[in-house]
Amino acid sequence: MERMERIERLARMLASARAAGPHARIAELPDDLAPASEDEAYAVQDAILRAMNQAAGGWKIGAKSAGGPAQGAPLPACDVHRGPATLARAAYAKPGLELEVAFVLGSGFRADAGPPSETAVRDAIASVHAAIEVVASRFAGWPDIDRRRQLADLQNNGALVVGEGVPYDAWFDAHFPFVSPSMRFTFDGIDIAQAPAANPAGDPRWLPYWLVNHCIARGLDLAPGTVLTCGSYTGMHFPAGAGVARGEIDGLPAVELTLT
């Protein structure tokens, strides 16, 4: 099978499963459709958004250690919500909840302009927010599946709920404890955060710079208003049923998600 045919077929499968819900999860993926490389997985991401007729309303970025290697995935605009938000739990087979710090771009980046400096990326960030990511897979075997398949599946993103923000200025940049902020994450009032609060990527401020250069290298523009969410500080919680998730990060407005 030709590379582009493989990419487009897998993207259509994942987009259809995303639209149809948990009953349509992929139980078995033919080997000839599996991404053969990380680059192919990223190409599948792009094709998913085309199949959904969606722009990227945000990106999720993460790394398992400070300094990388990092990975990212575009988030369809239809699945990026301003909090407080209400979502149907039944839309996800096994939703996981994470509390994250997200940045919103005040100005965009064009791929044809070339790679910017780290300072230019920081200057482009307009605001900082608390965010709750709903983690969900289109593969029935998740989490025990190949990492390239997870990457192709928009890095297991189901939805993102973004709280109100605060300006990202020099004072905030200097004083907010990005490595280990004080936070509380609850579901129906019960603490669900894994302590202590920490991001595997360390200080997440390097991740937007990585993401901008990743996009430019792949010929992708980033629009003003794009949300960049940068990994969980709290681990992942799998709610057994409906309820209200609330994330509070000192220095940022709270974010709330109701699962019905």
Q: What is the pLDDT of residue 1?
A: 66
Using alpha carbons, select from 182, 206, 214 the residue that is nearest to residue 66: 206
The three-class DSSP label of residue 29 is coil
Average pLDDT of every residue of the chain: 96
Decide: 75 and 157 in contact? Cβ < 8 Å.
yes
pLDDT in tens, 28-38: 898 899 999 99
Q: What is the pLDDT of residue 183?
A: 97
Beta strands 85-87 and 255-259: pairing type?
Answer: parallel
Decide: 103 and 125 in contact? Cβ < 8 Å.
yes
Domains by residue range for the chain, with CATH? 54-259 (3.90.850.10)
Q: What is the pLDDT of residue 195?
A: 79
pLDDT in tens, 214-224: 999 999 999 99
Is a pLDDT exceeding 90 seen at residue 155? yes
